[in-house]
């Protein structure tokens, strides 16, 4: 009896699967028949098709969106990767609307997005490298600076940059990082910690009236490297003014001039630039340096806000240095995620 019951259950299960398969096939046939038998599939969905074309143009021609009105161009470029989310929305609407015209049009923004960002979807990290660097905006209101310092130090970076250092919290960071880093220097609200000797430290004027950037020489086993630490001014989106980034843009220009004048051939920039690599307003910096995330990252590497990262505004950039890998670190008590990279140091020719 037990064996017979088992056989019956098996047959019933198979029958149920067959019924489900039949229902799926019938539904598919009905859907396709609706498309084949409807002469309006090319006339419907014109508005959806137009929206798809506009989306493709915005992504493809983002550099031509003017900044004269509320820095609209920079705002678009900051969140440009998220425009890809509209593609599946348009695709679903085109299917629901049964519009062949809209379906074909949706291919345009999909192709543009893949051309712009498809390379970020693969893991390009390599092995080896000579130096691990990390940067973290620790947040001036960080409730646990000591814990944040220990968590970042545990990542094993040889060189660590911290931004938004509150004067009263600096001794806490110094004490927590002392066991890992023998050398360090703090200028204003930014600091640099290193396992290798630091020299020629100076503040970098980024036109703010107070110090939020520094330059130092780190003497690694492979020779000297110029390391810049910077924290660009914050930007805001305001209804009456748009994307308020003028002060940030001026600071980026000043930082770009300082890096352009750097005499060492191997340069690393660590910091919170309050902007993405797509933002044209950071061109003074991005035009002469290479982003480690774009070169050897795995994914977009969004770093802010830590609770739900939407943009990569914390950057590690290099010149005369070969990036090997780049990644984000686990969340700390800050509102930013730490980011890290491994780089290879070619022979010094400065």
> Is residue 350 a part of any domain in this protein?
no
Please determine, for residue 308, whether its predicted confidence score (pLDDT) is greater than 70. yes
Q: What pLDDT, on the 0 to 100 scale, is given for residue 34?
A: 57
Q: What pLDDT, on the 0 to 100 scale, is given for residue 6?
A: 45
Q: What pLDDT, on the 0 to 100 scale, is given for residue 10?
A: 45
Closest C-alpha to 64, from 77, 48, 55, 47: 77
Q: Are 306 and 137 in contact (CB under 8 A)?
A: no
Q: What pLDDT, on the 0 to 100 scale, is given for residue 246?
A: 86
Q: What pLDDT, on the 0 to 100 scale, is given for residue 29?
A: 59
**Do 219 and 116 fall within a single domain?**
no
Mean pLDDT of the chain: 90
The number of distinct structural domains making up the chain is 2
Phi, psi of 144, deg, nearest 5: -140, 70
**Do 155 and 71 fall within a single domain?**
no
**Do 171 and 147 fall within a single domain?**
yes
Q: Which of 104, 120, 136 represents a domain boundary (last residue)?
A: 120
Closest C-alpha to 42, from 132, 93, 103: 103
**Do 24 and 41 fall within a single domain?**
yes
Closest C-alpha to 172, from 162, 108, 317: 162
pLDDT-derived band at 127 (thresholds 50, 70, 90) equals confident
**Do 116 and 135 fall within a single domain?**
no
In the predicted model, what is the mean pLDDT of residues 157-164? 98
Q: What pLDDT, on the 0 to 100 scale, is given for residue 98?
A: 86
**Do 143 and 249 fall within a single domain?**
yes
**Do 186 and 335 fall within a single domain?**
yes
More confident: 241 or 76 = 76
Q: Classify residue 267 by burial, with Cβ atoms within 10 Å: 0-12, 13-18, 19+.
A: buried
pLDDT-derived band at 241 (thresholds 50, 70, 90) equals very low
> Is residue 203 a part of any domain in this protein?
yes
**Do 220 and 307 fall within a single domain?**
yes
Count other C-beta atoms under 10 Å from residue 61's C-beta.
10
pLDDT-derived band at 245 (thresholds 50, 70, 90) equals confident
> Is residue 30 a part of any domain in this protein?
yes
> Is residue 34 a part of any domain in this protein?
yes
> Is residue 248 a part of any domain in this protein?
yes
Compute the radius of gyration of the chain from its Cα atoms: 26
**Do 219 and 162 fall within a single domain?**
yes
Please determine, for residue 106, whether its predicted confidence score (pLDDT) is greater than 60. yes
Give the integer Cα–Cα distance in Å for 167 and 10. Answer: 72
What percentage of the chain has pLDDT greater than the value 70? 88
User: Over the stretch 247-272, which tens digit does the pLDDT of each residue have?
Assistant: 999 999 999 999 999 999 999 999 99
Count other C-beta atoms under 10 Å from residue 31's C-beta.
12
Please determine, for residue 285, whether its predicted confidence score (pLDDT) is greater than 90. yes
Q: What pLDDT, on the 0 to 100 scale, is given for residue 211?
A: 97
**Do 173 and 320 fall within a single domain?**
yes
> Is residue 164 a part of any domain in this protein?
yes
> Is residue 324 a part of any domain in this protein?
yes
Q: What pLDDT, on the 0 to 100 scale, is given for residue 8?
A: 44
Buried/exposed 229-260: b ≥16 CB within 10 Å, e otherwise: bbbbbebeeeeeebbbbebbbbbbbbbbebbe
Q: Which of 120, 152, 167 represents a domain boundary (last residue)?
A: 120
Q: Whole domain around residue 44: which residue ranges? A: 2-120
Percent of the chain that is helix, strand, coil (3-state, to 5): 45, 25, 35
Phi, psi of 143, deg, nearest 5: -75, -10
**Do 187 and 92 fall within a single domain?**
no
- Check residue 130 and report its DSSP letter: S
pLDDT-derived band at 5 (thresholds 50, 70, 90) equals very low
Closest C-alpha to 315, from 255, 268, 280: 268
The residues pairing with 270 across neighbouring beta strands, listed in sequence order, are 229, 316
pLDDT-derived band at 281 (thresholds 50, 70, 90) equals very high
pLDDT-derived band at 22 (thresholds 50, 70, 90) equals confident
Question: Which H or E run includes 29?
Answer: helix 2-36
> Is residue 349 a part of any domain in this protein?
no
Q: Which of 68, 97, 120 represents a domain boundary (last residue)?
A: 120
State the CATH number of the domain containing residue 203: 3.60.10.10
């Amino acid at each position: 009896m037990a064996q017979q019951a088992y056989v019956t259950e098996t047959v019933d299960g198979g029958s149920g699967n067959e019924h489900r398969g039949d229902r799926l096939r019938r539904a598919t046939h009905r859907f396709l028949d609706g498309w084949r038998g409807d002469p309006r599939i090319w006339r419907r969905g014109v508005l959806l098709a137009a929206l798809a074309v506009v989306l493709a143009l915005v992504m493809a021609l983002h550099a031509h969106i003017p900044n004269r009105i509320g820095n609209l161009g920079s705002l678009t470029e900051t969140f440009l990767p998220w425009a890809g989310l509209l593609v599946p929305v348009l695709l679903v609407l085109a299917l629901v609307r049964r519009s062949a015209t809209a379906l074909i049009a949706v291919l345009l923004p999909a192709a543009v997005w893949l051309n712009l960002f498809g390379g970020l979807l693969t893991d390009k990290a390599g092995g080896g490298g000579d130096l691990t660097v990390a940067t973290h905006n620790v947040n001036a209101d960080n409730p646990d600076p000591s814990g944040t310092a220990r968590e970042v130090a545990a990542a094993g970076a040889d060189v660590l940059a911290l931004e938004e250092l509150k004067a009263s919290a600096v001794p806490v960071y110094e004490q927590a990082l002392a066991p890992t880093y023998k050398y360090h220097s703090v200028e204003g609200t930014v600091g640099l910690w290193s396992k290798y000797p630091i020299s020629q430290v100076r503040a970098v004027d980024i036109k703010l009236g107070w110090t939020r950037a520094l330059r130092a020489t780190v003497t690694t086993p492979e020779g000297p490297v110029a390391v810049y630490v910077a924290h660009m001014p914050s930007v805001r989106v305001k209804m009456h003014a748009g994307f308020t980034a003028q002060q940030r843009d001026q600071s980026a220009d000043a930082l770009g001039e300082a890096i352009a004048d750097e005499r060492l051939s191997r340069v690393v920039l660590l910091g919170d630039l309050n902007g993405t690599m797509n933002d044209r307003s950071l061109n003074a910096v991005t035009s002469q340096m290479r982003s480690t995330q774009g070169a050897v990252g795995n994914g977009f590497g969004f770093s802010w806000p830590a609770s739900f990262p939407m943009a990569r505004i914390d950057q590690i950039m290099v010149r005369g240095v070969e990036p090997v890998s780049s990644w984000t670190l686990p969340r700390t008590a800050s509102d930013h995620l730490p980011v890290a990279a491994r780089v290879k140091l070619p022979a010094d020719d400065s």
